Amino acid sequence: MYELSDKRTLDWPLVSPLSLCTVLAVYFWTVFSWGPSYMSIRKPYSLKFALAVYNLGQVIACFGLIYGILHSGWLTTYSMGCQPVDTSKSPEAMRAASMMWWMYMLKIVELSETVFFVLRKKQNQVSSLHVYHHVSMVLLAWIGVKYFPGGMITFSVMLNCVVHILMYTYYFLALLGPDMQNKLSWWKRSLTIVQMIQFCIILIHSSQALKEDCKISKFLVFLFMPNVVIIFYMFYDFYQKAYTPKKNKSISSNGSVSSNGLKSQ
C-alpha cells in the first residue's frame, strides 16, 4: 500500500497509520469507557452554547472547504468525468491536497459529536449507525488524504460539505427551542433523504474510476465504494424504521440526523 500513497502528504500531521489508530482508540475509549463512567455520578451537561458555536463553526468550515476545492481545479481544469490526482507540486495541486487534509481534520473533529451525546447522558443515541458513520468517514477521509489528495474525489467532498451546511444549519436553528423545532420538522425528515441522495450521486460519480482508461487505483476504489453502500443502507434502514407508518418510536426519537447527534432536546 505504501507505493500507492501520495508522497506529498506522507509527513503531514495525523496522516500516518499510527496516528489514525491512536485517534480512533482514544475515541472508542472516551465514548464507551471513560465517558459513561465519568457521567455515571454526574448530571447531564446542557452544552447549548457549545453546540451553537460548534454548529456555526461546521457551517463556516464547510463553506471554506468548498471555496478551497473550487479553486483547486474545478474552476479551471477539472471535469465531471475521470479526474486522476495531480501529484505535482503546482499551487492548485497542493491546494487540493491541503483541502483533503483539512477535510480529514474536520472528520476527526466531528467525532466530538459522540462525546456531546455522552456528556449530555444520551448514551442511547450512540447507535451503531452513529458510530459507524463517524468512524467510517474518518477512515475514508484518511484514505483520501493519503492516497487521493485531489482529483475526482474532491467532488464527493464538496457534495458532502453542501449536505453538512444544510444539516448544521438545522441543528443550530433547532437549538432555539421547541417552537422552532416544530416549524422545522419537515426539514429533519428531508435531511435523511438528502443524505441518501448524496450517497447515490457519490457512487455514480465514483464509478467512473472503474473504467479501464481511468488512471486511478481500482483497489482503493473498491475500498471506498462498499463503505458508501453500507452507509447508504444504514441511513435507508433508519428512514424506514423512523418514518414509515409502523415507525419505531424509540428510533424516531433519536432524529434522522442524530447520526451526527446535535439535537437540542
Q: Is 205 a catalytic residue?
A: no
| Cell reading at 248 | 419505531
Yes or no: say if 15 and 101 are a contact pair by the CB < 8 Å rule.
yes
| Residue closest to 73 by CA, chosen among 60, 58, 85, 63 | 85
Q: How far is CA 177 from the centre of its chain?
A: 26
| Cα 214 to the center of its chain, rounded Å | 26
Q: Which residues contact 25 (CB under 8 A, 6 or more apart)?
A: none
Residue 213 cell numbers, joined:
482508461
| Cα gap 40→19, rounded to integer Å | 30
Q: Which of 133, 134, 164, 205 is catalytic?
A: 133
What is the C-alpha separation between 254 and 113, in angstroms, rounded? 14
The conformation of residue 181, written as its DSSP 8-state character, comes to H
Which residues are tagged catalytic? Answer: 133
